[in-house]
Every structure is written in structure tokens, then in C-alpha cells.
Amino acid sequence: MKKQIWMEYRKLWNKIAGVAVIAMCTVAILHLFVYLNLQYRSIDSQGEIVEGLASYRALKDASEELEGVMDGEYIQNLITSYNSSFDKAYLAEHRGYLGTGGMTKYMVPNYFINYAYFGPYMSNGNDKVGLDYDFLESEEMFYTTYKETVKEHLADNGFYSDEQLLVMNRKADNLKTPFVTGYYQGLANLRSWYIKDYSLVFIMLAFTLAGLFSKDNTGGVTELTLSSRYGRKMNLNARWIAGNLFAVSVYLIYLGVQLIMNGLIGTLAGWNVSAQMLWFDSLYNMTIGDGLLIMFVGGLLGTLVVANLVMLFSIKLKNVKLAAVLSAIAVFMIMRTKDMYGTIELISPMNFENDNLIKRYIFIGNAAVPYFVVVLVLTVLYVVILYIGTKLSYKKYHIN
């Protein structure tokens, strides 16, 4: 069985797959280099403006003095440091700096503090980095204000009923403070571009897995495979497992490109920073690194769902071109759910890798279930249904 799986897996790595992988990686890399190089700039530790890709390393070096636990002492030192800094004076003279790709070492702690004031109306910009707030007089006052803001944000979202909000409010009260802050811009870029280019994986699978069960494709189904000594069932399972392993490989290549390129540009420092520094209204006691790992697992689960859908089209149509076209149409429709809201947003594999994994809960009765648990259950359900459809079709598979 293992040899048969390996043989089917190797057959999937044909010229089309090779070209598709190269194209996927090239697009992902070009997106990163062009966008991050042209738009961003930062203020370094010497008060100089650094532009392009070098701005991230300069920002990291400048941010080292602001890393730490955001307790009362930290907040008071931050206020003193910011009020006497070159950064504050520069922002006062250049009002559109932060809203047009400009970066400063004070973004992370100052934005987080300003969220406690602005709540759901928080955004990037020079007017959202000030520290002139009464609630900063003590650590207790600040985190009390922050938690109340989170509660208001949850109510404003409209996701939960009044009874459900009571449960969510208790989770907000149970957040462990003070939080850890520090540089994480490279990880923020990783999160952003991982989500933006995630659909490249789906597009590639639509064309590379379409011929797995076709009768007109090299390496597809033949009379010989249908009448093999191991029987249809073993042949089906070998191809199905190989198809899923291929999908995992493609996804890991995509993820590897994102990790390597973002690591080279902005570094991957900040894995131990509290998740709330990036996801202001997250109710999980975790780090940014934990959150990204959950997103990466969610992305893998979404990939498996799409891979099994393409394999079902392949065995139903038996024609590689028709299966590829129908798979591409299906992927395009799935991609469109990225901008949708409500139930469609939550059940679409296109959204199995986004911020909902770190922020949302789904209520079953009075129990608040983390959305990433729901994604795992949905994936198992989708894959089982699609596998059953593939299995039933293979039993009735005839070349002519």
C-alpha cells in the first residue's frame, strides 16, 4: 500500500505541477517585494527616515528599548519617552505619516493604548498614538478601561445575543494582564500576506489534482488500474491519500515561502508578544505566535477541503480539462466568500485561515465554542462527505 501511495504521489508531481508551484511562489514573492519595498518607511533609532525593505530592520532595532511587560511602570516610562521623542515631533509636522505606510517604534504600545479609548473606531494614523489619557495614571485603571472597551466592541459587532454577551464579558474579565509588548511587524506582514495570497493554493490544486481520476490523463485511471490484483478499493485509497499528501505539500511550500520571505524582510521576532497587541479584542490568553500557528493549521484544513472537492470533480467527470474548468469555477466561487459575512463566511474553507480563529466564538446552546474548534469539525465533515462521494463514484467507474 505504501509503495502504491508513493507511486501515485510521484505521478502528481508532473510538469504542470512544477510550473504551477513556480508560478505560485513567484507571485507570492513579487507581491511581498514590490508592495513592502515601495510603500513603507520607518524612523530609526537615530531619528533618520529609512525607506524600502531596510525600514523593517531599522524599526526592529529601534523597538528593542520598548520591549517588555506593559505594567504600570512601563506605561509611565513610555509616556515620558514618547513625549520627549523625535518621533512625536516628526508626527506633529507630518500629519499623514502613519496613514501612508510610515512606521515608528511607538506604534505597537501606543496603538494598543489608544484602542482602550477608541475601541471599534480604532485605526492607523497620527491621531491615534497620543498618550494623554487619565486612565493611564495606574495599571489597574488602564486594564479596567481596556476590558470595558473590549466588551463594548463585542456588543457593537452584533455577533452575540445579550445572554451570549454575558459569557463573552466574563472571558474579557478573565484575560491575564499585564500584556507583553514588543516588535512584531514582520509577523504582522506574514499574517497579512499569508491571508491575501492564500487563494493561490486553491488555484493550483484546481489544475494539478483535476487529472488524478481522469481517464484521458497520463497517470490517470486505466483498465489496468481498475482490474488490478489489489482491487478498486485499494487503488482508490492510494490515489485519495496521495492527493491529500500532495495538497499538504503544496500548502507547506506556500507557507514556507511566506515564512522565509517575511523572515528575511522583517524578521519573525515577536512570537512571545501577547496576542492582544495584534488582535486588540481577542479573548484568548495566548501569544502572537500561538495565534499564527492556529491560523496556519486552519489554512491547512481549508486546503484539504478544496483538494477533496477537486478530486470529486475529477472522478465524476473523468476528463481532465472539464474537471479543471469546473474546479477553477468552484475555487473562484469559494474565493468570493472571502468578502461575505454571516454563516457563509464561517463555513467557507476560504476563511478557515483568517482572524476569526483568534477572535470568534460560536455558541451551541449556552456553551461558547472557539471558532477554530468549529473549523476542525467542519473540515472532518466536509472531507468525509466528499470522500464518500468519491468512493461511490469509483465503484461505478467505467472507462467506456
The pLDDT of residue 148 is 96
The pLDDT of residue 219 is 56
Least confident of 38-47, 107-116, 363-372: 38-47
Q: C-alpha 150: how far from its chain's center?
A: 22
Handedness of CA 92, 94, 95, 101 (dihedral sign): negative
Given a contact cutoff of 8 angstroms between Cβ atoms, the answer to whether 298 and 352 are in contact is yes
- Distances from the Cα of 286 to the Cα of 18, 86, 119, 121, 367, angstroms: 38, 33, 21, 24, 21
Judge whether residue 398 has pLDDT over 70: no
The pLDDT of residue 33 is 82
What rounded mean pLDDT belongs to the chain? Answer: 90
286's grid cell: 495566548
Q: 92-112 pLDDT, tens per residue?
A: 998 889 888 899 999 999 999
Residues 6+ apart with CB under 8 A from 106: 66, 78, 82, 85, 87, 88, 129
Tell whether pTM > 0.85: yes
Measuring CA to CA, which residue among 103, 107, 129, 104 is closest to residue 118? 129
Q: 289-331 pLDDT, tens per residue?
A: 999 999 999 999 999 999 999 999 988 888 889 989 999 999 9
The pLDDT of residue 58 is 94
203's grid cell: 488555484
Distance CA 224, CA 140 (A): 73
297's grid cell: 493549521
Q: 111-163 pLDDT, tens per residue?
A: 999 999 998 888 888 888 999 999 999 999 999 999 999 999 999 988 899 99
Residues 6+ apart with CB under 8 A from 188: 278
The pLDDT of residue 229 is 53
Domain ranges of the chain: 2-36+183-395, 68-177
- The phi-psi region of residue 52 (left if phi > 0; otherwise alpha if psi is between -120 and 50; otherwise beta) is left
Position 90, amino acid? Y
Biggest CA-to-CA distance, the chain = 81
Distance CA 351, CA 184 (A): 23
190's grid cell: 506574514
